[in-house]
């Protein structure tokens, strides 16, 4: 890849700022940083930071595709709702990985090798594997073997080459983390933000990643090796103590990075999901939390994942909130009737506002039946009806949609996922332990919360790199494939419990930090509710009733904002129901009534691979224009409008199938 910014990390160091509390603010010569003087312990945390930002963006956008979130952002809406996939979604991850992160890996490796800092070398190899595997997952064919050398027009590699290269990098990293660092090597703890400088934990990360990547071959004829995956799992994370995570913070001393101008210390998933107002929980996602397996049992994680806002607010003479109810967000219906979206448009879910003085809005509704329905829904707020005009009075303290279009009036039911950070406050004086979204100084002064946010996408939510609960679900899937349902049941239940335990630990930390006093959704779950849920019909209780869908839907909840959900859905052909004897693994997931992406997704039946979103188009500027000759040579579909629907290498049963698409 063209090395436009091979010392990009060092430019950031010029800021002299504090980031992730202690990692990202030291250099041997902060006034004259260069690629030879920067210490390995200053290089690695910035590489980890920028990898995580690229991964967070991939997580959010693929979560829109996978139905975790609805977005009314134009580009992301085309992934979540219309499936009229837009090239505008594909650039950020690509440039974040190649320009800010990958270009710095060779110099980190070389610098570490000079001092026999084997663990830094191992970290470079692991991040190499993670980043290029992510690029394979997204784009299929990319520059790989020539990507990180001084070549402005690198040739492309096919998916098989990239996949095998990433596995080889992990194997080399395992060797490096099994060694003792040299006597003059920089202590690993001085530079590692993910595992606290613990090489044993990095070894478990390596094996866990190998298990994740070997699982991608589940469609491959004669290539899937369940025993090899189980062997990796036996050497990977064995409890939540082994999780590889990047701790994130919401502090007033935070600063923005030089490239995207986003906060440095905050959670990368928050940066792209809940920094702004565009994303909301989908109905598909919420339904799993309130009606898994049709049991009608509410998951105790629901109130931590699905945001809430205040409703029925009453204020005193000073405009302060004195009473209210919490209104839990409805999920936006994308795949079912989608009545609200059909009413006003795919991207029309509107932002709520707050009125401190009260607000009268007149809605003009020509249809008699719709007008009558609207009047009934507004109830006592209706002030007058004059022909087609309905005047509604929103009292002081109301949260409402500030529009005279009646179709938007009910959008208070859809609470956006936004949380406030210290760098995005719209109200001065909001403390660090209050991450509620208030929308401005008036609701903040009144104490009117417009969103409590969501567990995985708050500024100070941990950014998960690899977790024990994911390993449990991988184990459950592999055992189920091997016909070992009793053992699969144990792993499946362990995965659910591990995810709840992992959430509970974070919630208790937040409670200890005073966050729960400001936001009830940041308080711990009720332990009795957890016990009852695990024993309920929402969870398979016997091996005879356990299905692959049970395993994958619980994994879907646990992974949430993660590219791995989209990866899993591709492996099972979404809701086509044509993988082995497992039936429909993701019931209810399908093209919705707002679908308009026939040009991008040309298949017409669910069992046709090209019916679904299966890859991204290459970035127009970075590859299709600048590296045009090599992009054209890489694949016959690279410039096609419908490139979005063609499987990447690991998503094909055979190499012949894959090469049939691209050659």
Residues 6 or more apart whose CB falls under 8 angstroms from that of 656 comprise none
> 3-state DSSP call for residue 323?
strand
What values do phi and psi take at 463, rounded to 5? -100, 110
CB 341 within 8 A of CB 359: no
Res. 234 pLDDT band, cuts 50 70 90: very high
CB 300 within 8 A of CB 384: no
**pLDDT over threshold 70, residue 528:** yes
Given this model, what pLDDT does residue 425 score? 85
CB 248 within 8 A of CB 462: yes
For 51-71, write each residue's pLDDT tens digit: 999 999 999 999 999 999 999
CB 481 within 8 A of CB 575: no
**pLDDT over threshold 90, residue 80:** yes
**pLDDT over threshold 60, residue 18:** no
Q: What is the mean pLDDT of residues 180-189?
A: 97
Strands annotated E in 41-173: 69-71, 142-143, 156-157
Res. 152 pLDDT band, cuts 50 70 90: confident
What values do phi and psi take at 407, rounded to 5? -65, -20
CB 496 within 8 A of CB 525: no
Chain center to CA of 459: 13
Question: Alpha-carbon distance 367 to 407, whole Å?
Answer: 12
**pLDDT over threshold 80, residue 3:** no
Q: Which helix (H) or strand (E) holds 42?
A: helix 40-65
Name the H helices within 410-562. Answer: 441-446, 468-481, 485-512, 515-518, 527-534, 548-559
Given this model, what pLDDT does residue 660 score? 98
For 479-488, write each residue's pLDDT tens digit: 999 999 999 9
> 3-state DSSP call for residue 622?
helix
For 76-106, what is the HEC assignment?
A: HHHHHCCCCCCHHHCHHHHHHHHHHHHHHHH
Lowest mean pLDDT among 5-19, 190-204, 444-458, 523-537: 5-19
DSSP structure string for 375-422: HHHHGGGEEEEETTEEEEEE-TT-EE---S-GGGGGGGGS-------T
CB 561 within 8 A of CB 68: yes
Res. 26 pLDDT band, cuts 50 70 90: very low
> 3-state DSSP call for residue 586?
coil
Mean pLDDT, the chain, as a whole number? 94
**pLDDT over threshold 50, residue 449:** yes
**Token pair for residue 447?**
């104490």
Res. 7 pLDDT band, cuts 50 70 90: very low
CB 468 within 8 A of CB 453: no
The crossing angle, in degrees rounded to 10, of helices 118-139 and 199-215 is 20
Residue (of 351, 535, 350) closest to 443 by Cα position: 351
Residue range(s) of every CATH 1.25.40.390 domain in the chain: 8-80+87-269
**pLDDT over threshold 60, residue 1:** no
Residues 6 or more apart whose CB falls under 8 angstroms from that of 68 comprise 281, 282, 285, 556, 560, 561, 565
**pLDDT over threshold 60, residue 16:** no
Q: What is the mean pLDDT of residues 626-646?
A: 97
For 237-260, write each residue's pLDDT tens digit: 999 999 999 999 999 999 988 877
Higher per-residue pLDDT: 160 or 6:
160
Res. 21 pLDDT band, cuts 50 70 90: very low
What values do phi and psi take at 22, rounded to 5? -145, -5
**pLDDT over threshold 70, residue 135:** yes
Residue (of 91, 109, 90, 110) closest to 99 by Cα position: 91
Q: Which helix (H) or strand (E) holds 654?
A: none
pLDDT over 90 percentage in the chain: 90
Question: Alpha-carbon distance 531 to 222, whole Å?
Answer: 41
Query: What percentage of the chain's residues is helix, strand, coil (to nearest 5)?
Result: 45, 10, 45
Name residue, tokens 């996978």. 66
**pLDDT over threshold 90, residue 615:** yes
List beta partners, residue 245: 464
Q: What is the mean pLDDT of residues 112-128?
A: 98
For 155-183, write each residue's pLDDT tens digit: 999 999 999 999 999 999 999 999 999 99
Given this model, what pLDDT does residue 553 score? 99
Residue (of 211, 208, 273) closest to 244 by Cα position: 208
For 422-431, write each residue's pLDDT tens digit: 988 877 889 9
- Return the CATH number of 8-80+87-269, one of 1.25.40.390, 3.10.105.10, 2.60.120.10, 1.10.10.10: 1.25.40.390
Specify the pTM.
0.95
**pLDDT over threshold 50, residue 565:** yes
- Give CA separation, 589 vs 90, 141, 346, in Å: 23, 27, 17
Given this model, what pLDDT does residue 32 score? 59
Given this model, what pLDDT does residue 24 score? 44
């Amino acid at each position: 890849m063209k090395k436009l910014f091979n010392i990009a990390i060092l430019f950031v160091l010029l800021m002299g700022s504090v980031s992730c509390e202690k990692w990202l603010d030291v250099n041997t010569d902060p006034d004259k940083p260069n690629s030879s003087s920067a210490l390995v312990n200053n290089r690695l945390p910035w590489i980890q930071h920028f990898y995580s930002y690229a991964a967070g963006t991939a997580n959010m956008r693929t979560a829109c595709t996978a139905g975790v979130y609805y977005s009314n952002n134009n580009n992301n809406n085309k992934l979540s709702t219309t499936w009229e996939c837009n090239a505008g979604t594909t650039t950020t991850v690509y440039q974040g990985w190649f320009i800010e992160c990958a270009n710095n890996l060779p110099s980190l490796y070389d610098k570490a090798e000079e001092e026999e800092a084997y663990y830094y070398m191992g970290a470079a190899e692991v991040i190499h594997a993670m980043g290029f595997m992510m690029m394979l997952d997204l784009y299929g064919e990319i520059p790989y073997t020539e990507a990180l050398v001084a070549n402005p027009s690198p040739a492309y590699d096919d998916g098989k080459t990239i996949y095998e290269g990433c596995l080889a990098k992990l194997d080399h990293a395992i060797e490096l983390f099994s060694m003792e660092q040299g006597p003059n090597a920089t202590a690993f703890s001085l530079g590692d933000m993910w595992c606290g400088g613990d090489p044993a934990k990095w070894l478990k990360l390596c094996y866990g990643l190998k298990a994740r990547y070997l699982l991608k071959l589940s469609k491959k004829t004669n290539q899937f090796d369940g025993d090899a995956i189980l062997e990796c799992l036996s050497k990977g994370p064995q409890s939540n103590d082994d999780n590889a995570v990047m701790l994130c913070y919401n502090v007033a001393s935070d600063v923005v990075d030089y490239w995207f101008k986003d906060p440095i210390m905050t959670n990368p998933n928050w940066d792209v999901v809940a920094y702004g107002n565009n994303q909301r929980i989908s109905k598909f996602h919420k339904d799993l939390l309130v009606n898994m397996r049709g049991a009608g049992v509410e998951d105790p994680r629901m109130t931590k994942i699905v945001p809430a806002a205040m409703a029925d607010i009453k204020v005193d003479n000073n405009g302060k909130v004195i009473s209210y109810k919490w209104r839990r967000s409805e999920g936006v219906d994308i795949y079912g009737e989608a009545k609200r979206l059909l009413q006003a448009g795919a991207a029309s879910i509107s932002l709520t506002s707050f009125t401190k003085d009260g607000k009268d809005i007149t809605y003009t509704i020509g249809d008699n039946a719709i007008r009558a329905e609207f009047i009934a829904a507004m109830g006592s707020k209706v002030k007058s009806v004059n022909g087609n005009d309905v005047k509604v009075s929103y009292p002081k303290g109301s949260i409402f949609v500030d529009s005279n279009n009646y179709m938007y009036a009910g959008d208070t039911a859809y609470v956006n996922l936004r949380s406030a950070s210290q760098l995005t406050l719209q109200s001065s004086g909001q403390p660090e332990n209050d991450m509620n979204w208030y929308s401005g100084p008036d609701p903040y002064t009144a104490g009117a919360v417009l969103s409590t946010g969501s567990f995985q996408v708050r500024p100070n939510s941990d950014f998960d790199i690899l977790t024990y609960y994911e390993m449990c679900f991988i184990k459950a899937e592999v055992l189920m494939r091997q016909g070992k349902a009793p053992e699969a049941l144990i792993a499946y239940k362990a995965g659910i419990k591990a995810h709840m335990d992992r959430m509970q630990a974070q919630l208790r930390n937040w409670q200890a930090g005073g966050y729960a006093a400001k936001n009830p959704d940041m308080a711990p779950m009720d332990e009795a509710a957890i016990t009852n849920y695990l024993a309920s019909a929402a969870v398979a209780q016997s091996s005879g009733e356990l299905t692959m869908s049970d395993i994958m839907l619980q994994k879907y909840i646990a992974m949430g904002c993660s590219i791995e959900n989209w990866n899993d859905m591709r492996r099972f052909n979404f809701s086509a129901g044509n993988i082995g004897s497992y039936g429909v693994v993701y019931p209810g997931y399908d093209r919705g009534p707002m679908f308009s992406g026939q040009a991008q997704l040309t298949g017409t039946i669910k069992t046709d691979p090209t019916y679904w979103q299966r890859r991204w188009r290459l970035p127009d500027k970075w590859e299709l224009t600048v590296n045009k000759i090599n992009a054209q040579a890489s694949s016959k579909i690279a410039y096609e409008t419908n490139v979005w629907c063609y499987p990447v290498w690991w998503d094909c049963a055979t190499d012949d199938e894959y090469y049939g698409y691209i050659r």
